[in-house]
Amino acid sequence: MWSNPEKAAVKMAQKALGWNDPQYRLVLRNAGVRPWPDRDGPVSATNPHNDTDTFVRFMAIAERSGYVDPKRGAGFWIAESQKQCTRMHHKIKALAQDLHKLGVMDDPAAALAGFIFRMTKERPLDQGGPTNVLMELDAEWSYKVIEGLKKWLWREQRKHGTRDLGNATREAHELPF
């Protein structure tokens, strides 16, 4: 759940950029905010399932739209979003390593590139279109790839009767690609 200062920062950005309610809700959705789970309605900054990652993505989108955070200055949220992407790319590599250890991927780099391409087939051209390059994924698409890999890993673990391979927490230098 976003803290009150985070909610206030979101409202300040909305007001500074002059976003009306539909524009604001569209940006919330693009940042990864989801509607309340038990209600039919629009996305909301008050949803208890909002996390810090979605807040950072929202503020980065606001900065790209011209907003300058008065406390942190220009470029702060974009840099935070890029750090977030780096962490997510590490997680993707670790999940691919888990699949490799199960024997599902003979060549993890090539298999991961193919998987990323399949996951990004629906990616709009204004976001770069389909890609097979991990570093081209933003936080939203990295999240989708992570979720896809987690589902694939879960299926394979059930098939092989294994439960845990370290839960994708290894250091990057241990990865073969």
pLDDT digits (tens, 9 = 90+) for 24-61: 988 888 887 877 766 677 888 887 778 888 898 899 99
Task: Give the integer Cα–Cα distance in Å for 81 and 138.
Answer: 9
Task: Give the integer Cα–Cα distance in Å for 89 and 108.
Answer: 14
Q: What is the mean pLDDT of residues 137-145?
A: 84
The residue ranking higher by pLDDT, 160 or 144, is 144
169: pLDDT strictly greater than 50? no
Q: What is the mean pLDDT of residues 136-162?
A: 87
165: pLDDT strictly greater than 60? no
Percentage, residues of the chain above pLDDT 90: 40
Task: Give the integer Cα–Cα distance in Å for 132 and 116.
Answer: 5
174: pLDDT strictly greater than 80? no
Q: From residue 18, how far is each of 69, 77, 125 by CA, in Å?
A: 15, 19, 26
Average pLDDT, the chain: 84
* Closest to 14 in 3D by CA, of 52, 45, 50: 45
The residue ranking higher by pLDDT, 161 or 145, is 145
One-letter amino acid identity for 147?
Answer: E
Task: Give the integer Cα–Cα distance in Å for 161 and 156.
Answer: 8
66: pLDDT strictly greater than 80? yes
Return the domain boundaries, the chain.
4-74, 83-174
84: pLDDT strictly greater than 50? yes
Please report the pLDDT score of residue 128 as a whole number: 78
Please report the pLDDT score of residue 172 as a whole number: 42
